[in-house]
Structure 1
């Protein structure tokens, strides 16, 4: 079933409230997806630096070893902060290849959740309220964020199988629905050099959009093309460095509602996810049209 929430802030004065507002929205979706939860938060970038969000099933041991290794190599100029089972590594952008090589060679149990100037992704198995509290979502700040609660129907309940999925720099995708042609599409993407960490069909959708944008499409064009190439029923909410987009399949059988004010744009799988937002009583509220791409950016 799954539940999706998204919040894009137009008003910079609201940025300190982003985590608190998204946490409240995510809490209402627990019944739609009690197995696991995750969220992507787009925060402030540092000039010339890239953030890498990491996760480990042996976080205390792995992150202590990684922190020690990073401290020995002063040329990496790494900043490292741990948040429960996740950590955010900030490095000069020209050192990204070096970090990837280090992780692949010496830290094989550490997984990369996201890479980009702005994005951080946190996701774990468990009740969505508990997941949000573990990572202190309510105190996170930023410009926009996407959250997801999962009811696993097509793959195992694991951290890697939880949403969001990130397959490109500052890109992420969450999904409510099911794709019928994800296996054949996965094979095509693998032939073109894309790699996968799970059997989840949502990772295929995320990789598809990244693949299309590598071919020169912008996000809007990639989402339009997905309506031709992806077979099934779905609501996609996509995050980028600049904003977020929404698209529903041509049948639009999965529920979705949006609201817009001068201060924000919000998405929810149900209207109850939006009722706690400030000014919702004066918002323009509507159901997104089938096979129609919506996108907002800063």
Structure 2
């Protein structure tokens, strides 16, 4: 049993309050997932030709300034960075492959949590309230955000095994449920060049969507294929640079509720996580249908 929450802002005037609106939603899912929590937030986009990476090191005293200086000097690139607890967000005027290659050779102990132009992923072991406080979630700004609280039932409680999972630029996924064919899919996707950091089945689902998007599928087409190719039971919430999507399997045994107003679209595993949102009493509220996906995207 895990908890999912998501908030997609249709009204740009609310972007400065995204973290403030979202924090109580995440904390409301504590009973569904007290082991670990995390979220992916979209905002603070870098320009064309730059890449944004969320990096984590197991040593909270790690010298990020030194790493930044080494990358600037060795790659002859512009770079800015900021630290949030034991995570750092690097913005680099380079291609993703160049930065990945440098980190793999010179700082292999640094884990890349996300890569893109907009996304930042922050996650840790602990209660959702502790994670929110650790990363100062309430003060964050952006256009949309998805989060997850985990109750580990099939694997160890680790930061690496917590959600969200990201396997491609600006794409992430959170999952409540279990996939039955993830081992076979993982091997097939590895042959297609998708790389995995964990044995978690949810990371395979993220990898599958990344692969479909790389084939040229739209997000909607990728989700249509996912309904055919992913076996098991699941509720997914997916984030991309431009969008936000929710999808349930044909049985739909995992709970989900959607709410929409002129200002936002919100998703949660339980309605009580939505009750702090402004205007929720006048929102259109419904349970997403089985084997159906719902997508909101900016043009």
Q: Which residue of 2 aligns with 1:79?
A: 80
Task: Return the alpha-carbon distance in structure 2 between the equivalents of residues 260 and 14 of structure 1.
Answer: 15
For residue 203 of structure 1, what is the aligned residue in structure 2?
203
After TM superposition, list the pairs within 5 Å mapping 1:1-298 onto structure 2. Answer: 1-48=1-48, 49-73=50-74, 75-92=76-93, 94-298=94-298
Once the two structures are TM-superposed, the CA of residue 264 in structure 1 deviates from its matched residue by 0.2
Asked if structure 2 preserves the Cα contact closer than 8 Å seen for 1:39 and 1:163, the reply is: yes
Q: More displaced, 110-119 or 153-162? A: 153-162
Alpha-carbon displacement from aligned partner over 1:127-175 (angstroms, at most 9, x marks no partner): 1110111001100000000010001112211111110001111100000
Q: TM-score, normalised by structure 2?
A: 0.96
Task: Kindly tell me the number of residue pairs found equivalent between the two proteins.
Answer: 297
Considering only aligned residues, what root-mean-square deviation do their CA atoms show, in Å?
A: 1.2
> Would you say the 8 A contact 2:96–2:115 is kept in 1?
no
Q: What runs of 5+ residues in structure 2 fail to find an aligned partner?
A: none
Deviation at 1:91, TM superposition (A): 0.9
Q: Which ranges of 4 or more aligned residues in structure 1 deviate by more than 4 Å?
A: none
CA displacement, residues 263-294 of structure 1 (integer Å, 9 cap, x when unaligned): 00000000001000000000000000001110
1:204-239 Cα shifts (integer Å, max 9, x gaps): 000001111111211111111111111110000000
- 1:46 shift after superposition: 2.8
- Of 278-287 and 100-109, deviating more is 100-109
**Secondary structure of 1:241's aligned partner:** coil
Per-residue deviation at 1:70? Answer: 3.2
Shift of 1:85: 1.4
Instruction: Give 1:97 shift.
Output: 2.7
TM-superposed CA distance for 1:65, in Å, is 3.4
**Structure 1 counterpart SS, 2:30:** coil
- SS where residue 167 of structure 2 aligns? coil
Deviation larger for 154-163 or 286-295? 154-163
| Contact 1:176 1:235 (8 Å CA) reproduced | yes
Structure 1 CA distance, aligned partners of 2:98 and 2:284? 47
**Contact between 1:53 and 1:87, CA under 8 Å: does it hold in 2?**
yes
Kindly indicate whether the alpha-carbon contact (under 8 Å) linking 2:37 and 2:162 is maintained by their aligned counterparts in 1. Answer: yes
TM-score, normalised to structure 1, is 0.97
The answer for unaligned runs of 5 or more in structure 1 is: none
